[in-house]
Structure 1
Amino acid sequence: MTNTVGPRLRRDERTVVVDGGDVVYEILGDTGELVVLTPGGRFSKDVPGLRPLAEALVAGGFRVLLWDRPNCGKSAVQFYGASESHMRAETLRALLTSLDTGPVILAGGSGGARDSMLTAILYPEFVTRLVLWNIVGGVYGTFILGHVYSLPSIEAVRFQGIEGLLSIAEWQERIADNPANRRRLLDWDAAEFLAVMMRWLKAFVVKPGQTIPGVDDGMFDRIAVPTLIIRGGSGDLNHPKRTSLEVSCLIRGSEVIDPPWPEDAWERASQARAQGKAKGFNMFDTWVQAAPAILDFLTRT
């Protein structure tokens, strides 16, 4: 019998059902404004490096919501929308509506920065302030996203049918975290799944007038809240310095600061992981160093 049991939750974790799938979240702290803190990639809220930053923000007087976005951690796999970030923005809107939080602060790095920006663009009434770092852009950074997020699933389904998704390590991990995801994957029609993946892949094709993948530059006019941007490091191919500066030009009145970590921190972490010198994924370990700058921004705006 196929296991359709949902995720096994820790005592501090809760779920909300959005579009028929679980969204797993937790809230740290008891008082203060709520900060939604979002990591990058398809990494869960428990990725090493994220919680220390959350705890530092709580110590600074804020509450912090950590969440497993769709296709991350213990949450349900989901496939719809103009891009994966569009889908996550819609999911976050539904999550915040369910929790009746009122407007919140959005803070995110790498893919979490993109998800946060899109939420602020599409649902501005939910956002009071915006904090962004490690913003992905440029030819290499954008192309690598399509390679990582879409191509493996496209190739698997093209050549093996929908069952081919079960051979991909990423989806195996989502099933291990939430056994119900196995059935959610297999219930997809192969042609319909490929149509979604091709649409998501096209969002990562570099286009004039799109500094951020899948987002027209003109849409940034909808962001009217105080925004802090921690610029990308010099030589960071995934999160170019240029992209951060371009985004700062698109978000009127935004503040840009130098990164509190070394300019080549991401490159060093990437090399260490590729060479097997890092235990697990530790590329977010430096993020806690941004806590003083973030707290300063949040307390004066």
Structure 2
Amino acid sequence: MAEETVEVNGGQVVYEFVGPEDGEVVVLTPGGRFSKDYGGVHELAGALAEGGKRVLLWDRPNCGRSDVQVYGRSESHMRAETLGLMLEKLGIERVVAAGGSGGARDMIVFTQLYPEKVRKLLAWCIVGGTYSVMSLAGVYIMNELRTVRAAGIEGVIKLGGVAGGGWAALCADNPRNADRLRAIGAEEFERVMTRWLDAFIPKPNESIPGVPDWEFDLVKVPTLIVRGGEKDYDHPKRTSYEVHALIKGSRLVEPPWPEDAWEVAAAATGAGRGALFDFWQLGAPEFLKYIDE
């Protein structure tokens, strides 16, 4: 299916389907501010499609070619709301919610906010722990706050970044975004970024950023959690155990990829030889088996 757009909360969301039209819909959500077209995402989608699934890929707001959105309790909560409203507009009643890294957090929050729309939840490479969470504050928020305070919204429009590119890349990929940011303005942008920063302040009652532990009681669907890698400091082993403990009845499985897959992918990406999510497709057999149970 060709790429399409749908309007949600006054912004355009870019999406596409991969796989047979009569397959069960699996929403596949990558991490960072990476597009649905980032390396490894389509490869996993294709593998799931070969297993009969209809995979929904989407550029979350502030990713790829979708319109920027700056509102809500956290960026993940804003994206979860966007997905819920998007599914309503597309006439899709229930999905399998699947995501890795930041996408795992987005799908956990989505399941909490829209439990009636989720049949099963799959999460891997889950962010948590002091180092990982504080690192993301630098990736997503601190440069934004410094820039908007020093150079206003025009500075934000020119701001580069990592983990999928900065706001300059979003404006280059989607020319509407510069005007959308100007309409938001420096004052509101700073206000929301300050609120979003709170999600990345490590707290003893938050195993994953921005989600109090008690809210995991809202997840009542069958859930598969992939254990974090032994030395994956961005997606710690400990966090996967904590999330498993918090979601009653969840299943924790050993990684379906090498123990050091994230570290190897990060090194290869830094050397220009691949993408961070290249190894995700190795999880397709395990994911399909769980979905079909």
| Same fold? TM cut 0.5 | yes
Aligned partners of 1:216 and 1:104: how far apart in 2? 24
Provide, for residues 162-211 of structure 1, a one-character-per-residue CA deviation record: whole Å limited to 9, x for no partner: 11112212112111211100100112231221110011111100011110
Structure 1 residues 218-257: aligned runs within 5 Å: 218-257=214-253
Whether the 8 Å contact between 2:266 and 2:275 is mirrored in structure 1 is no
1:263 aligned counterpart, secondary structure: coil
**1:278 paired to 2:272:** yes
Aligned with residue 111 of structure 2, among 102, 105, 120: 120
Provide, for residues 96-129 of structure 1, a one-character-per-residue CA deviation record: whole Å limited to 9, x for no partner: 0000111111000000000000000111011000
User: Could you tell me the TM-score, scaled by structure 1's length?
Assistant: 0.93
**1:68 paired to 2:59:** yes
The percent identity for this pair of structures is 54
Structure 1 residues 22-33: aligned runs within 5 Å: 22-29=12-19, 30-33=21-24
**1:293 paired to 2:286:** yes
Deviation at 1:264, TM superposition (A): 1.4
1:146 aligned counterpart, secondary structure: helix
Aligned with residue 188 of structure 2, among 188, 192, 216: 192
User: Could you tell me the TM-score, scaled by structure 2's length?
Assistant: 0.96
Read off the aligned partner of 2:17 and give its amino acid letter: I
Q: Which residue of 2 aligns with 1:53?
A: 44
Moved over 6 A (4+): none
1:142 aligned counterpart, secondary structure: helix
RMSD between superposed Cα atoms in Å: 1.1
Q: Which residue of 1 aligns with 2:163?
A: none
May I ask how many residue pairs the two structures share in their alignment?
Answer: 287
Deviation at 1:273, TM superposition (A): 3.1
Q: Which residue of 2 aligns with 1:13?
A: 3
For structure 2, list consecutive stretches of 5 or more residues without a partner in the other structure: 161-165
2:184 aligned counterpart, secondary structure: coil
For structure 1, list consecutive stretches of 5 or more residues without a partner in the other structure: 1-10
Read off the aligned partner of 2:154 and give its amino acid letter: E
Deviation at 1:267, TM superposition (A): 1.4
Deviation at 1:269, TM superposition (A): 2.1
Aligned partners of 2:168 and 2:134: how far apart in 1? 24
